[in-house]
Amino acid sequence: MSGRLYVVGIGPGSPDMMTPQAHAALQDAERIYGYRTYLELLAPHFPEKQLIASDMRQELQRCEEALADANEGHRVAVVCSGDAGVYGMASPVLELAPAYPEVDVEVVCGVTAALAGAAVLGAPLAHDFCVVSLSDLLTPWPVIEKRLKAAAWADLCLCLYNPRSHHRPEHLARACRILQEASMPPERPCGVVKNIGRDEQEAHCMALSKLETYEADMFTTVFIGNSETRIVGGCLVTPRGYRS
């Protein structure tokens, strides 16, 4: 009998941003695997489910356990915050899945922080945009630097994930300097959102030069406008096209 593994993006955290499809997948699962913090968010809404928590950096082990469980004919879910496919668990699960031939994997998408944070600020990603993580755990820093330069050169709106962690407090400042060296002006409108969709949500607009010294944390998403982005009525707004 074949098993099923749902890789589910639960959105930014609040249940009203989780899709009915994601909710149905979690209801269908016998057990839910995930990072401790996300399972704590889910626990009150799925009181009858068995939740199997693991810590950060145990992602591959978590995938293997969930795949082995499903391979015995069970229906299980692996959860991620935001979307399952954006820096999420869909990729490692699908890479490991061929070793578990009895498992049907279904990826269930969700609202990622780029979209949820943009809505809080206004419409900063309303034209072509780029999503870049500043974490160099799995990506060499020169690759990240190249991507920032490319975004600046091509006038792409930019959304930065993981702007800061304990081990890399200076990455956001470095990114801001790289963008300015790539001739992005210091007055370029930017914005930050902390704790998207949670009670402690906080959002600010500021110039790129101010962003350089902003104290981001692990729960901050950063937005950098393109050459047409403006602050309009307190919102960060990128036009849908070029006026000229």
Q: Cβ of residue 105: shortest distance to a copy of itself, in angstroms?
A: 8
Q: Cβ of residue 205: shortest distance to a copy of itself, in angstroms?
A: 12
Q: Cβ of residue 167: shortest distance to a copy of itself, in angstroms?
A: 16
The sign of the CA dihedral 80, 86, 87, 92 is positive
3-state secondary structure of 155: coil
Residue 156 corresponds to which tokens in the numbers above? 């792409």
CB atoms within 10 A of CB 154: 10
3-state secondary structure of 121: helix
Kindly tell me which of 118 and 172 has the beta carbon lying closer to a copy of itself. 118
Residue type, 174: R
Kindly tell me which of 91 and 180 has the beta carbon lying closer to a copy of itself. 91
Kindly tell me which of 137 and 218 has the beta carbon lying closer to a copy of itself. 137
Q: Cβ of residue 209: shortest distance to a copy of itself, in angstroms?
A: 24
Question: What is the per-residue burial (b if ≥16 Cβ within 10 Å, else e) of 183-216?
Answer: ebeeebbbbbbbbbbeeebebebbebeebbebeb
Q: Cβ of residue 131: shortest distance to a copy of itself, in angstroms?
A: 6
- What is the separation, in whole angstroms, between the first and last Cα of the chain? 61
Cβ contact 114:220 at 8 Å: no
Kindly tell me which of 19 and 195 has the beta carbon lying closer to a copy of itself. 19
DSSP 198: S
Kindly tell me which of 176 and 225 has the beta carbon lying closer to a copy of itself. 225
Q: What are phi and psi of 235, to 5 degrees?
A: -105, 150
Q: Cβ of residue 7: shortest distance to a copy of itself, in angstroms?
A: 8
Kindly tell me which of 85 and 163 has the beta carbon lying closer to a copy of itself. 85
